[in-house]
Chain A
Amino acid sequence: MFDFFSNINVNWMGLRKPFIAVSILVLLAGLVSAVVRQVMPGGTEAFNLGVDFQGGTVVTAKFKGDRPTDDQIRNALEGTGLGESVIQGSIDKQDEVLIKIPLLEGETDITSEASADAAAEQAPERQAVEEASTTEAAANTNSTGNEASPGSSPASTQQSPADESQVSKGPELVRNALNTFGNEAQPNLALEDDQNAKYKIVGIDSVGPVAGEQLRNQAVIATLLGMVGILLFIAFRYDWTYAAGAVIAVFHDVLITLAFFTMFQWEISLTVLAALLTLVGFSVNDSIVIFDRIRENLTLKRTQPLFDLTNDSINQTMSRTIVTNGLVFLSVLALVLFGGQVLRGFSLALFVGAITGTYSTIAIASPIAIWWQDKLGEARMKESKLDKEQKLASASRRSVARRPVSD
């Protein structure tokens, strides 16, 4: 029988202050990174939000033969008035490239003024279209002018203003830029099957500012409501103090993960959101396993102070914690290493989350639960054990009996 992790006896609760200090340090680093990036002139946004959450366009293009260098592509994009694009080669597939362009000006008031000149270029164009249509209308009614293009083709008059929006225009501008390298493959042909083609757009994500904001708000609201649900259920099964501990720990995990995302400017996309939800699940799971053991021990060892009891509970479940989380951690490591470009953000978020999830259960959830019980006035941290019997809080049958907390 392999059994590496039994008989562990660490005073986890005694380490709570350094633990919490580490958490605060990481959170502060994240906060500083976010604020500095936001405030610094010419800096990036606090978070590298994917187009899913702030609007914009990402085009995945696949090239035949040698793919143009990032600089060549950037030059071509600048030629179509797209300055601030991000060109990202694929690590695992040499012939593919991700092109991310921000929201086009005029779509939103959130974007920086930097792309104002792009808008200036577009404005006269729109005006010109309007003028053309008014002259034509005039010509139709009284025909006195000698207008230049009497029969402007129906295709142009048919184009609705909707086609001017980010969602449709973004991909078109990228396509125009890429056309400088050669033809795009026919819509229904694979790149290899089209002799004349140089490239093919294999994926488009184009999100308008409204939809981006909707997705963002919905994600935040759903996650927060989910946490409220967790809070209520744990409060019902255990006690408010434990519920608070678990939820704060989950919050902590999400924030720490986000701190890493702002510090390293990893992109936050929809798959990262899925990963954040996953780590919320793992983290709560971990907290409950320990809480459950505390609850069990409370009935078994009626006289033991909560402080030691919590330590014991953490130590008793340590073998399970290490096996489960070790497995999760190693699986996620495999995901980071071999999961490929598509799952990169997902893997990174889970990777950070798997570590903080385990850590926060021991370092955050349990100390907060105990600290709160202390604050409730039922007991003092340094209280003598003499009168503890009187101080046992009356609690519902299901909930954890409050008892003196002692160091």
Chain B
Amino acid sequence: MNNTTLLIRTAIIFAVTILAVFLVIGPRGSFTASDFSWQGITSNLENNINLGLDLKGGLHLVARVKTDEYLRDLTLSNSQAALTAAKEKNLPVSDSSFTAENGTYEVRLSVSDISKSDEITEAVRQKVDFLNWTESVGSDSISWSLPAQAQARIKEQATDQAMQIIDSRINQFGVTEPTLQKRGTADSGEILLQMPGVEDPKRVKDIINAESKLALYAVVSPPNPNLATYPTREAALQSIGGVETDTRKVYPYTERDDSLGGGDNDQQNQQPSQFIVVEEPPIIEGDELRDANAVTQTGNEGDYQISFSLKPAGATKFGEWTGRNINNYMAVILNNEAKSVAFIQSQIFDQGQISGQFTQANAEDLALTLKSGALPAELEYLEERTVGPSLGADSIWAGVTAALGGLIFVILFMLFYYRGAGVNAVVALLLNMVLTLAALIVLDATLTLPGIAGLILGIGMAVDSNVLIFERMREEIKDGKLVSKAVELGFDRAFITIIDTHVTTIIAAIILYLYGSGPIRGFAVTLILGLIINLFSAVFVSRTIFMWILDRNPGLKKLSI
């Protein structure tokens, strides 16, 4: 042990400490004067540490995409499409059936003349995407079944697609840093959504689930200004001969509605007072939409419209139709209800507006669901948690006071019981806390309530390391060893124990991290970090302080311990 090693050790400790302190309470960017005030430090601390939802408040949702249902729908539509494809070519196919349960997805065509099987499969392949399906020809039928591997891939794709749609929808909430990720195995279809600061799960779920169908229809009516409306559905049906047909449909027409608001306040909402008759098929459908936005002229709540624009192909069609139908009526049908009926003043190409006197939130939500399309399959919610900001703050407060209270008590005891050596322990403890927080920040890990528990266990083991070392030194001194020798032996012997205890706990924590989920992982991460750092703070740093003391007093007879 000479001066150079001591110098190097001291330099390392100071460098690490300064870096850690900067990471924890320093600004991200250049320093300003306010960074040195108490307020600046606390706000930097808040910015730097990534708090979990349980501490800062927000919405935590776990949903599962019903991928089985998706596969079932796919099988059903393929089964129908296959039959149609074969019949179009007048091939000898009598019927189609399908199986979609217990992991088996199969489409069967009953064939009356199996010698034509090649032609049938050829015709079906042209129309139906059976690329990943296994084809087999029987004595009176042809069947396609989906292998397990392909099932898993399709499920995964459906989940990905659902995630993209959810992502585009929740992005519009303007929440900072929402988390959207898969959970469980790749094809389990489970999605985790975390939205900090959001307290209204109903609105989020409504937006995610909502399926908005928009279509523009020609209204069967004399030209402007004589819009044909009917007071009841019966009257409307009467005008088209009593029954809806392939070319005529009846829709309710309300001038005011708040369709997406859910069941909260539609009691006072008036029932549709009128009905109109429209021409099928629609002029334009929702998939030809390019963009939709909530707009308002007055800025008053309840005076919002949705303006939309069309994709080029749709715009051409729309322009053509409006050009031919000046002064005729057009209806905007949203979710099976006519939201607005307008007469065509001039040829319109790619812009339109739905005026329904929406509230701002309704208009925004509707515009959003129009833009992002429908989910591939329904969602099932497995978990829903909201933590209000006050509850989160309470948890932080409880955790921090408990941890700080414990820390102060431990510090006082160590100073009282171990005197001079207690100072080492206190330095090591404080350094352990700062370094663990710094490591959390560097790894961009999230601090949760179980994470605080991990932190507390880490601090407990830090204290224990010091106690082990000090008790060992006392024993050696009692055995009559020189102070310098006792310090050396104390560290060397206790180090073996410390390594064993730490490695054991780290191994257990790594396993917890690998096999555990959210809350367990949060615990494991802070624990692992705290323990690794402890080897530095409780052993390396503490020993350096002792080395420094011995260096200053080479012939030290009595150690304050």
Contacts and interface: CB of A to CB of B under 8 A. Distances in A.
A296 B244 contact: no
Interface stretch (B106-114, B217-225, B258-266, B286-294): B258-266
A210 interface: yes
B271 to A, nearest CB: 7
Contacts of B501: 284-285, 288-289
A233 B471 contact: no
A275 B454 CA distance: 9
A156 interface: yes
A324 B334 CA distance: 69
A330 B417 CA distance: 15
Interface stretch (A73-81, A112-120, A137-145, A362-370): A137-145
Contact of A206 (B243, B385, B508): B385
B463 A324 contact: yes
A204 B402 contact: no
Contacts of B394: 93, 340, 342
A320 B398 contact: no
Interface string A276-310: 01101110110011011100100000000000000
Interface residues of B, number: 101
A396 interface: no
A217 to B, nearest CB: 10
B405 interface: yes
A204 B386 contact: yes
Given A320-B467, A320-B471, A273 B380 contact: no
Nearest to A269: B519
Contacts of B119: none
Contacts of A62: 388, 390
Interface in B397-432: 397-399, 401-402, 405-406, 409-410, 413, 416-417, 419
Contacts of A140: 244
A162 B378 contact: yes
A94 interface: no
Contact of A215 (B232, B381, B510, B517): B517
Contacts of A223: 512
A334 interface: yes
A153 interface: yes
B497 interface: yes
B467 A271 contact: no
Given A202-B391, A338-B405, A1 B561 contact: yes
A158 interface: yes
Interface stretch (B31-39, B91-99, B196-204): B196-204
A151 B337 contact: yes
B401 A207 contact: no
Central interface residue in B205, B271, B398, B461, by most chain A CB within 10 Å = B398
A159 B260 CA distance: 10
Interface in B494-515: 496-497, 500-501, 503-505, 507-512, 515
A188 B244 contact: no
Contact of A205 (B385, B474, B504): B385
Nearest to B517: A218
A324 B382 contact: no
Given A143-B243, A230-B507, A274-B449, A285 B464 contact: yes
A102 interface: no
How large, as a class, is the contact surface on chain A?
35 or more
The interface residues of chain B, by DSSP majority, are classed as helix
Contact of A204 (B201, B262, B464): B201
B516 interface: yes
Nearest to B385: A205
Contacts of B519: 270, 273-274
Interface string A183-213: 0000110100000000011111111101100
Nearest to B508: A226
Interface in A51-99: 60, 62, 93
A223 B497 CA distance: 24
Contacts of B118: none
B260 A165 contact: no
B413 A327 contact: yes
A339 interface: yes
A392 interface: no
B387 interface: yes
Given A201-B388, A222-B516, A230-B508, A292 B383 contact: no
Contacts of B449: 271, 274, 342
Given A277-B523, A281-B508, A338 B205 contact: no
A284 B244 CA distance: 76
A155 B259 contact: yes
A167 B384 contact: yes
Contacts of B243: 142-143
Contacts of B467: 320, 323-324
B207 to A, nearest CB: 12
A162 B383 CA distance: 12
A211 B391 contact: no
A289 B464 CA distance: 10
B497 A292 contact: yes
B40 interface: no
B382 A208 contact: yes
Contacts of A342: 391, 394-395, 398-399, 449
A158 to B, nearest CB: 6
Interface string A1-27: 111001000000000000000000000
A130 to B, nearest CB: 16
Contact of A163 (B205, B391, B417, B497): B205
A278 B381 contact: no
A288 B505 CA distance: 11
Nearest to A154: B335
Contacts of B244: 140-141, 143
Contacts of B439: none
B259 A288 contact: no
A221 interface: yes
A182 interface: no
A155 B263 contact: yes
A222 B513 CA distance: 8
B388 A153 contact: no
Contact of A219 (B335, B380, B410, B520): B520
B252 interface: yes
Interface in A329-361: 330-331, 334-335, 338-343, 346-347
The 5 closest A-B CB pairs, nearest first, are A202-B388, A331-B406, A151-B252, A211-B382, A274-B450
Given A156-B263, A172-B202, A282-B457, 6 more contacts: A62-B388, A153-B269, A211-B383, A277-B520, A291-B500, A334-B405
7 contacts: A151-B337, A154-B337, A160-B379, A202-B390, A284-B501, A324-B464, A346-B453
